[in-house]
Structure 1
Amino acid sequence: MPHTLDKDYNKIAEFCESVLIFENAKLPDEYYYSSLPLCVIDSIFSIGVRYEGVKNTVNRFCSYFNLNKERSGTGTPEISEQFSIELYLSSFESLGLETFVNEVFKNKQRTSPTNGILKAEAVYLFCKVLNKYEVNYFQDVKKIYGNEEFENEIRAIPGQKSGISLVYFYMLAGDDQWIKPDRMIVRFLEKALQRKVQIDEAQSLLEETTKILVKKYSNITPRLLDYQIWNFERSSSN
């Protein structure tokens, strides 16, 4: 079995090198958000839609609260420069769901077309769980890595059972080891391996592939590899 897996990792690495460009590869602006609530908004609103709409939603939120969308550098922003999860919750509770949907986000999307809750509500519930675990700023996120109770509470939010938004939140919040195992990543892996790939295989497949690629491309992390693949698949499907 391990021998078969090694072959898989090498196949993916070879395929990556044949279609992706790793020299000067870097993450886009959304990986350098100024505050944690923006990571939650992006991770919830990005599921099942074109990304352009997600950018517009984040921009409208920033405009409404007069916030800088991106941090000033690539390092973690100072706490004093961040719009906290706590502040997000108090703003939401003060303005109400309807105002957030119609005036702040101007986005009425739901987590699922059948009985899904409004994504705006899902963002609020996600932030409530973060606040419960005392995560308000980027500096606090390490408290929840690998915390099963926290992850189970997030997955219990309607529309969050798959955990894709949760993993994407980790990525946006700064964890280089995570990937977002969505249909684009799975499609790419299936092309590379010429077989069916399950979503729950994607993380380990890309982690191990990164270990091969990093010997030649020192800047590559699972998170950056995920982004390169996602960008390639998006361009291919246009």
Structure 2
Amino acid sequence: MDDETGPAELLLATCTRDLGDPDLWITPDGYPDSLALCLIDSIYSTGAHYTSVLNVVRNYRDYRRTQAANADSDGAPELLTTIGELGGPDGWATKVGNRRPTSTAPGAPLKAAAIASAAETLVELGIETTSELRAAAANGQIDAVKQAWRRVPGQRSGLTWEYALMLAQIPGVKADRMVIRYTARAIGLPESQLSAKRANELVRRVAEVKGWNIIHTDHAIWRFESGRQVSREADPI
């Protein structure tokens, strides 16, 4: 028995008890054709109520609609164009996003600035669309992209990176505070002693053992821990 077996078995039992039938889980739609929305949603999602994130996504869609364009097919270049049109990250934050900073540190840049930086980074690496991001993952080139992402202001932890992959429908685990809290409780550790990486590894292992979709497993845990409905009603027989 290796060091992971005990905690993984504890988490597996807890997930089996709490999450119900995986065929009935409410699954995340993500943005399979919009790298722009993956960037916006993932970077705005940390340290914020998700309602505020949805507001920014809606604002971006509305802005693009006024241009007779479709936000749900925008890549990183289109996102950068909108930022330029509105006078840079500051103007974009006022018109489309919000003025939340990347951290509570004095002088921390706006999340809109981090979005612009992340988009520029991906374009420089030749990744402009979700399909190109998925290709990088399939070709074993994703680690270099991850390292570049983590150099963007406020993104060092890698949590927004994992979430962006999930939104682009690339298998992974977004070990945010809800997933960390749930996993820590399941394995009997204080939340402060469980790293995002460790939680990520444990959830991935449970999904592999059960044959569950890793993205859907992460989302089901997140919904349960945040008090949301995990499963839809079963169809009547």
The TM tier, using the shorter chain, reads 0.7 to 0.9
Partners of 2:56 and 2:146 lie apart in 1 by: 25
Among 80, 88, 95, the residue aligned to 2:79:
88
2:161 partner letter: L
Q: How far is the alpha carbon of 1:143 from its aligned partner?
A: 4.4
Q: Which residue is 2:23 aligned to?
A: 23
Can you give the 5+ residue segments of structure 1 that lack an aligned partner in the other structure?
71-81, 215-219
Q: How far is the alpha carbon of 1:180 from its aligned partner?
A: 0.7
Can you give the 5+ residue segments of structure 2 that lack an aligned partner in the other structure?
229-237
Q: Which residue is 1:79 aligned to?
A: none
TM superposition score normalised by structure 2: 0.84
Task: Judge conservation of contact 2:149–2:161 (CA < 8 Å) in 1.
Answer: yes
2:162 partner letter: V
Partners of 2:36 and 2:154 lie apart in 1 by: 18
Q: How far is the alpha carbon of 1:84 from its aligned partner?
A: 2.2
TM superposition score normalised by structure 1: 0.84
Q: Which residue is 1:76 aligned to?
A: none
Q: How far is the alpha carbon of 1:197 from its aligned partner?
A: 2.1
Other structure's SS at 1:65 match: helix
Task: Judge conservation of contact 1:117–1:158 (CA < 8 Å) in 2.
Answer: yes
Q: Which residue is 1:74 aligned to?
A: none
Distance 1:179 1:230, change over 3 A: same
Q: How far is the alpha carbon of 1:32 from its aligned partner?
A: 3.7
Partners of 2:23 and 2:82 lie apart in 1 by: 43
Identity of aligned residues (%): 26
2:84 partner letter: E
Partners of 1:123 and 1:61 lie apart in 2 by: 13
**Cα deviation 1:50-95 (Å, max 9, x = unaligned):** 101100110001101115565xxxxxxxxxxx22211221222232
Q: Which residue is 1:185 aligned to?
A: 179
Q: Which residue is 2:232 aligned to?
A: none
- Would you say how many aligned residue pairs link Structure 1 and Structure 2? 216
Among 179, 194, 198, the residue aligned to 2:195:
198
Q: Which residue is 1:142 aligned to?
A: 134
Q: How far is the alpha carbon of 1:156 from its aligned partner?
A: 1.3
Q: How far is the alpha carbon of 1:34 from its aligned partner?
A: 4.2
Q: How far is the alpha carbon of 1:204 from its aligned partner?
A: 1.4
Q: Which residue is 1:209 aligned to?
A: 206
Q: Which residue is 1:117 aligned to?
A: 109
2:147 partner letter: N
Tell whether 2:107 aligns with 1:108. Answer: no
Partners of 1:211 and 1:101 lie apart in 2 by: 40
Distance 1:143 1:212, change over 3 A: closer
Partners of 1:90 and 1:232 lie apart in 2 by: 38
Q: Which residue is 1:165 aligned to?
A: 160
